[in-house]
Amino acid sequence: MRWLAEKYIRWRGWQIAGDKPRYKKFVAIGAPHTSNWDFIVFLGVVSHFKIPARVIGKSSLVRWPFGGLMRKLGIVPVDRDSGQGLVDQMVEAFDRAEEMALVIAPEGTRGAAEHWHSGFHRIAVAAAVPVVMAFIDAENRVTGVGPTLHPTEDVRADMDQIRDFYSGIKGRHPDRQGPIVLREELG
C-alpha cells in the first residue's frame, strides 16, 4: 500500500525532498497536518525512504480479527486504561524495537489548533531519540524529510529550531494551520 501512495503522489505532481534519516530510531513530526490527504502523502514519503513508520493507536485496534493487519500497518498500541502514561508506553516500544520511526502530528487535529501538543518532544527526550522534521508543503507540492533535532531539556530553544524550519511551509489548507507553539510556552 505504501508504494501505491508514493506512485499516486508522484502522479499528482508531488516532489519528495530530503534524505533518509540515518538513525534507526526517531520521532518524526508530521506537519503541517491540515487534511485527510496528509496521510497518503506521508505514506508516499515513508515508502520512498523505506522508513519503518509507526503511529500511535488505541490498543483495541490491534485485537482480533484485524490486530495482525493493524500491527503490520504500523500501529503501536497504547492502553489508555493502563496506569502507565503514554510517554512511558512509547519509551518501552522504542526499547523493544530494533528500528522505529514514530510519526506524530503534534497539532493533534486537521483543524487550526491553538498550540502543538508536546508529546513528541517528551517521548523523544525520554527515549533518547532524535526528532526528524517531516513536512508537507502543499503550496509548492513538495513533501519529505527535513533536518534532525537532538532534543534537550530546553524546550523553548528546541521549538525555536522547529519553528524556524516550518516557517513558510503551508499545508493543503493554510487557514487550518495554528501557531507552532507548545502550551507550556504560552504561559
Q: How far apart are CA 44 and CA 39, in angstroms?
A: 9
Which tens digit of pLDDT belongs to each residue from 25-62? 999 999 998 888 888 898 899 999 999 898 887 778 77
| Residues 6 or more apart in contact with residue 186 via CB below 8 angstroms | 115
Which tens digit of pLDDT belongs to each residue from 64-123? 888 888 777 777 777 766 656 889 989 999 999 999 999 988 987 677 788 898 999 999
For residue 172, the Cα-to-chain-centroid distance in whole angstroms is 17
Contact 15, 108 (CB under 8 A): no
Contact 172, 38 (CB under 8 A): yes
| Residues 6 or more apart in contact with residue 15 via CB below 8 angstroms | 141, 142, 143, 144
Contact 163, 29 (CB under 8 A): no
Which tens digit of pLDDT belongs to each residue from 12-22? 999 999 999 99
| Helical residues (DSSP H) of the chain, grouped into ranges | 2-11, 37-49, 67-72, 86-96, 119-127, 155-166, 183-186
Mean pLDDT for all residues in the chain: 89
The reported pTM is: 0.88
Which tens digit of pLDDT belongs to each residue from 152-179? 999 999 999 999 999 999 999 988 888 9
Q: How far apart are CA 95 and CA 84, in angstroms?
A: 15
Q: Residue 115 has which C-alpha cell?
A: 498550540
Give the DSSP H/E element, type plus range, for residue 1. none
pLDDT at 1 over 70: no
In the three-class reduction of DSSP (H, G, I as helix; E, B as strand; rest coil), residue 42 is classed as helix
Predicted confidence band at 5 (pLDDT cuts at 50, 70, 90)? confident
pLDDT of the residue at 83:
57
